Structures are given as C-alpha cells and as structure tokens.
Structure 1
Amino acid sequence: MIIAESIRVEIYKYNYAAHSYDLVTTLTESSIISAGGKRQCCADGTFEIGGVYAATFSMQAKILGMTTFQVRGAKLRVRSKYGTESAWHNMGTFWVTDATRVGEIFSVNAQDAVGWLDTSSYNSTSESAVKAVGKVLADKWQNIGIGIDQWDENGTEYGGWLQYLTDCTNTFIQSQTGVKGMLHW
C-alpha cells in the first residue's frame, strides 16, 4: 500500500511599513525537492521553559523571485494532505533561521516560535539596551506568582502567566527583528 503525501509551503515576507507578513509565493511539489520536520519536546522527559526544543523544518526547493536575504527571516506556513483528501492540514508555522542558495536551489532551515523562548532570551535580567523577556517580566509584574490563565469573577480572561510571557516575548522579538506581534495569545 502506498500513501501519497502532498505538501504545500506558503512563504511570507515581513512588510516593515505595514507591520505584517505578506504572502510572496506558494511552493508545491513541482518546486520542492525535499522537505522534513522534527518535533521533540525535550531531551530527557522533563519540561522546563528555555529547555524545550523548537520544532524544526528543513527543505530544498526552487524559490523564484526571492533572494537569499529575503528568504532568511521569512515565515513559512507548511500544509499537507494525504491521497485524495481535499482539505489541507496545517503542519506548522516556522521562521527561516538559515538559508543558502546554489544556483536556483535554496536549502532552508526553520524553527517554530518556541525558539524565541530559549534560555538566552528569557533568563537575562541585566540592564542592557535590549531587554530580554526575563527583564521585562521582572520590571512589569515583579514576582507575578499567578496561574497559567487567570479569569475574573465574571468568567472573563484577564491574563495569566502565559499571556504575560507572550507579551514580553513579543517585546523581545520586536527589539531584535522589528517584527511586531509575532506571537498571539
């Protein structure tokens, strides 16, 4: 039995003027030579923020109309479907961390947003020009000591630790890349 898998990769380039990602091109099997992904939560079965691995995606493909520097930092939305299914299934959103080009062929490595939460970005509480997530958390909420999600007496969500971490991570990402609101809670 052979199960045919189809893949589609949408490539978005960040528009600094509009603070949004614009769709540049959609790659299909005709331009994707190889593709692969890896998801692994952690190395040893424990969970620790900063120790969680980002999901990764790599591919070799012909990407027309873009330079290596435009591909590096691009957002990829990967979708797949099996056999004769009509609906495409989202396999993840990734940001290109490395891209090389030989002729018309690009080799691309990308990771999901968990990569922004590595220990180098959130552990630092130093007084530096670019504030790390840990420094922003400490400045804004001190020892927050709250739950993952918080709700008021009317059942309205007003924020929790994950929402604060998302906000602070977005602040850090914007300071590093200029990209506003990359993550959403």
Structure 2
Amino acid sequence: MRLLLLGLTTATLWAQPEISGARIREHVKFLASDLLEGRGVGTRGGELATAYLASQMALAGLQPAGDNGTFFQRVDLVGVEPQSSAKLTLGSANLTWAVDFVGNTQQQKSLAEFNAEAVFVGHGITAPEFGWDDYAGVDVKGKVVVLFTNEPPSDDPKFFGGKALTYYGRWTYKYEEAARRGAVGCIILHTTPTAGY
C-alpha cells in the first residue's frame, strides 16, 4: 500500500485560491463517486483516489515528501478478504456466499474453520445503564453467538438513544463483546425490523 505524504511550503501557498465549501464539496463528490469503487486499499478505485489526491496537491503547489520525489511512501500491509468460495454450514444446510450470508474474519489465516454450537443472544448487548443484558445466564464460551443487528427498538431517547444508534448497536461492539465472553464466532442477523430503516 502507498501512503500519501504532504510537504508544505509557505512560499507557494499564499498565491493559491481561497478554500471554499463549493471546491471542497466537488473534491468530496469525486472521491465518494461510484467511479472509485469504494477506494479500497490495493484496488483500482484506491489507486485512482490516491492519484487524484497527489495531482491536487501538486496543483496546489505542495512539494512531495515521499519516496523518490513522489507524494507516496510504500508501506507493507496485510489484508484479509473473504473469498467467494467461502462456505457456511448450519446443520445439514449449506449456505451460499453473498446470497445467504457474507462474512469476515480478523484472523490472518487462509482458512478460518471451526465446529461450534450456536446460541442466540438477542441483540448481543450488555448495557447496565439501560438495565439490559442479553448475555445474562448464557454461557457463550467456545460457541458462536447469533444476534440481531442494532439495538432494541425504542422511541424513547433515554433508552438506547431512541431512534439514534448508540455504541451498543455497532457491529464492532457486538464482535468485541462476544469475544470478551469467549465466543469463537458471531453471526449477525440483519432483518428489516432490527435494521431500523
């Protein structure tokens, strides 16, 4: 992966046009466009985005401070990307990737495989300030937790922020809480009612 490096020189910046909301909006529109395909690291869209940013910095008169007189510095990274051949079997049911499920792992291995019992834990939330504990009385150590996305629905802003999403509704919280409790995996059920839209 390449990182973008900035080098500032005050002598050339004073003559540049004033920063405006309209100009920034145009840059953001381009960088967020479908043309850049999400700007993922190591992807065509990511390369286009970095080339665009480097060209804009050059046009602004910034001096490169990266490798070999460029705006870039090489940095080796490890990435984890699920393959379309990924399989999930629940009992006798073989689920199809991108039709029945999608998944990811933070393990840097070519194969993430385990055989474990699944246990349902509601929304997978322990929030004492709201008097809520989906894990109460449930042993998830060595098991796969199955849970709903987001939080318990509510219109009351004093209960999980009402319609606003709190930290407890984030997938990262759910993964971290499951791992803290010793679960080996987490399956998030994404349904229209629990998605909140």
Q: Using structure 1 for the length normalisation, give the TM-score.
A: 0.24
Instruction: Judging by fraction of residues, say which structure has more strand.
Output: 1
Q: As a proportion of its length, which structure holds more helix?
A: 2
Higher relative contact order structure (alpha carbons within 8 Å, sequence separation ≥ 6): 1
Larger radius of gyration, structure 1 or 2? Answer: 2
